[in-house]
Amino acid sequence: MAPICSPGDRSPAASHARGAAPLGTVLAVHAGRVAPLPWTGGRTIATAIAKRAVEGAARVGTLGIDGDEQGDRRNHGGPDQALCLFPSEHYDHFARLLGRPLERPAFGENLTTAGLSEAALCIGDRLRIGTVVAEVSMPRSPCYRVGARHGERRLPLWMEQSGFTGCYLRVVEPGTLRAGDAIALLDRPHPQATIAEANRVKNRDRTDLPAIGALLLPQLGERWRRRFERRLAGELEDPTARREGPPAG
């Protein structure tokens, strides 16, 4: 897909002035506070995965929605992970696997969307949502917290295997957004670098070095960049580390 703006002017403002291509819609906006969540062995973990709907306009800065928190600031939050987007179309798939219906936001996402998929979003996409301009930074790497939320340790693995992970957005221009807002594509500098392709390389075809190299783009989130650079350097990694849970103690 060609960029929405002309080669001579790739700014979000110029793209918006020419008209942006609609991709999908925000069904719901969520934010959460850190709270204890039961885990195995009688332990609890600190997490804000149990988010609640934000009524009306949500203020969004470069670190995300005002009032949204993270229980693990080492692996969550920061500019590359300011907003977590998850397509509503995946809910039925995981409801069947879990054997029960799921209510939003079952996956701790900030934005539950309609009309989007991992194959329809690319690293570096510039999106206008309400008055916010956001940029797709990387896929979500589901961790044990989403499994703890639903009492199913295998859930993060199921998300990786299906490719239904959602993705993270960085905020380029702060503003406000709300449920019902359109998600408009302003610019697409890397049409081959889909979230689905990044998931494929990370979770399934781990030795596809040419594909890994092609994904090392300026807009790729730092966490995924470091992971791919280590693979190109021949370093081994433990793919289960963040899925299985925190260390005992």
| Other CB atoms within 10 Å distance of the CB of residue 63 | 17
In terms of Cα–Cα distance, which of 103, 88, 95 is closest to 158?
95
Query: What are 88's two structure tokens?
Result: 């509503």
pTM above 0.95, yes or no: no
Residue 243's pLDDT is 62
Integer CA distances (angstroms), 107 to 31, 82, 209, in order: 12, 16, 31
Whole-number pLDDT of residue 18: 46
Polymer length of the chain = 249
Place of tokens 């239904």: 164
Task: Give the domains, in start order, of the chain with CATH numbers.
Answer: 19-191 (2.40.33.20)
Contact by Cβ (8 Å): 183, 130: no
pLDDT, position 235: 83
**Which amino acid, residue 76?**
H
Q: pLDDT per position in the chain (249 positions), as tens?
A: 333 333 333 443 334 434 688 999 999 999 999 999 998 888 999 999 999 999 999 999 999 999 999 887 788 889 999 999 999 999 999 999 999 999 999 999 999 999 999 999 999 999 999 999 999 999 999 999 999 999 999 999 999 999 999 999 999 999 999 999 999 999 999 999 999 999 999 999 999 999 999 999 999 999 999 999 999 999 867 666 666 666 554
